[in-house]
Amino acid sequence: MSIPTTCGRVLFRSIATLLLCGVVACNSEFDPASLIASPRVLGAKIEVGGDPARSQPLPGETAEMTWLAVSNDPEQTWMWLLSACSSVTSVTGDSFCLQAPFATSLQGAPTQAPPSITLNVPATEQALAGSLEVWVTGIICTDGIPTQNGELLECDGGTHPGTTVTFTLDLVLDPAVANLNPSMDDWAFQLDGETWDASTPTSTTGCAGTTGPSLPAVTAGTLETTVTFQSTTEDHETYPVGTTATEEELLLVSHFSTAGEFERQFTDIARNETAEVTWVPPIQASVDGDTTRYFFVVRDQRGGLAWTQRTTCTVQP
């Protein structure tokens, strides 16, 4: 399996495009942007070895990049081909590899593990081709073998075209100035004023009668439900701007669900602020109840990212 040593014109959609377009293949134009109706990729998180809170490695360090790939099928499997190289970004915004990739990850058999790549960042300026920029590109497949033909990445033999991904990472020379990932582990979530705990369901139906704080019931056809969440103080870093000024991160949360519809796709949240967004349940449900999964992704807009998952059971009136 070959990997491009020079990446020529960018053939990969940006993460912003992935979020807005629906990813693996843009679904019906009538689907809301928040709906997970087919496999999608919602972002990527970088964790430095030995210091997972940090999202920016130094030259010579190892970091793990994990992609948040989601589907309306809780048992969805993935395959992928990813590579990372020292790069430069042109004035037009296109990135180019300066030399052969220093890391690759090929998963050619289906797995429920999330797509990922280990970045063993070169330690010397020569090995990095004089650049502190790393470009990660690749393709994530659901039912075809990830392959590369020239500069074209595809899912060979699959019925799905796959998701092309790209991420530009800036290295740092001092860990004290590196950006940290936010964490949603301690965020307080509520659904219609009741505590809403994290959960990971394994089926899409048969949830009626098993509801609780991690699986609240919602009634099909309800006009709307209200989701609230509050970040922790530690998630809002202060960072230098220029030589004397500082700013505090304003976090950006995107919200998705496998059924129903959020009123909007993005919510800003500042320190000590409780954010609110409404979600409209499906208009009908099966007799045994239908499981809906929710994905909340937070970005600090400086490269840090985290996510969490919630679940509800939609029941008949």
pLDDT per position as a tens digit, 117-134? 999 999 998 999 999 999
Residues 28, 148 share a domain: yes
| H helix intervals, the chain | 15-21
According to the model, what pLDDT value does residue 16 have? 37
146 pLDDT more than 80: yes
User: Hey, how many other C-beta atoms are within 10 angstroms of the C-beta on 215?
Assistant: 18
Grouping H, G, I as helix, E, B as strand and the rest as coil, residue 282 is coil
User: Hey, how many other C-beta atoms are within 10 angstroms of the C-beta on 110?
Assistant: 13
**Cα 52 to Cα 306: distance, rounded to the nearest angstrom:** 12
Residues 216, 300 share a domain: yes
Q: What is the mean pLDDT of the chain?
A: 89
Residues 208, 118 share a domain: no
| Short-list 56, 117, 121, CA closest to 87 | 121
Confidence of residue 215 (pLDDT cuts 50, 70, 90): very high
Q: 91: left (phi > 0), else alpha (psi -120 to 50), else beta? A: alpha
Grouping H, G, I as helix, E, B as strand and the rest as coil, residue 13 is coil
In a domain, 168, yes or no: yes
| Residues linked to residue 309 through DSSP beta bridges, in sequence order | 295
According to the model, what pLDDT value does residue 31 have? 83
Residues 166, 198 share a domain: no
According to the model, what pLDDT value does residue 211 have? 83
Identify the CATH number of the domain in which residue 21 sits: 2.60.40.10
Domain of 213, in residue numbers:
188-315
Q: What is the mean pLDDT of residues 88-96?
A: 90
Residues 265, 200 share a domain: yes
Residue 313 sits at φ, ψ, to 5 deg, of -115, 115
4 pLDDT more than 80: no
Residues 173, 29 share a domain: yes
What are the tens digits of pLDDT across the range 227-259?
A: 999 998 888 998 888 778 888 989 999 999 999
First-to-last C-alpha distance (Å) of the chain? 54
Confidence of residue 9 (pLDDT cuts 50, 70, 90): very low
Confidence of residue 29 (pLDDT cuts 50, 70, 90): low
For the chain, the residue count is: 317
Under a CB-based contact definition with an 8 Å cutoff, are residues 277 and 262 in contact?
A: yes
According to the model, what pLDDT value does residue 96 have? 92
Confidence of residue 64 (pLDDT cuts 50, 70, 90): very high
- Burial code (b: 16+ CB inside 10 Å, e: under 16) for 277-286 equals bebbbbeebe
Residues 32, 166 share a domain: yes
Residues 216, 168 share a domain: no
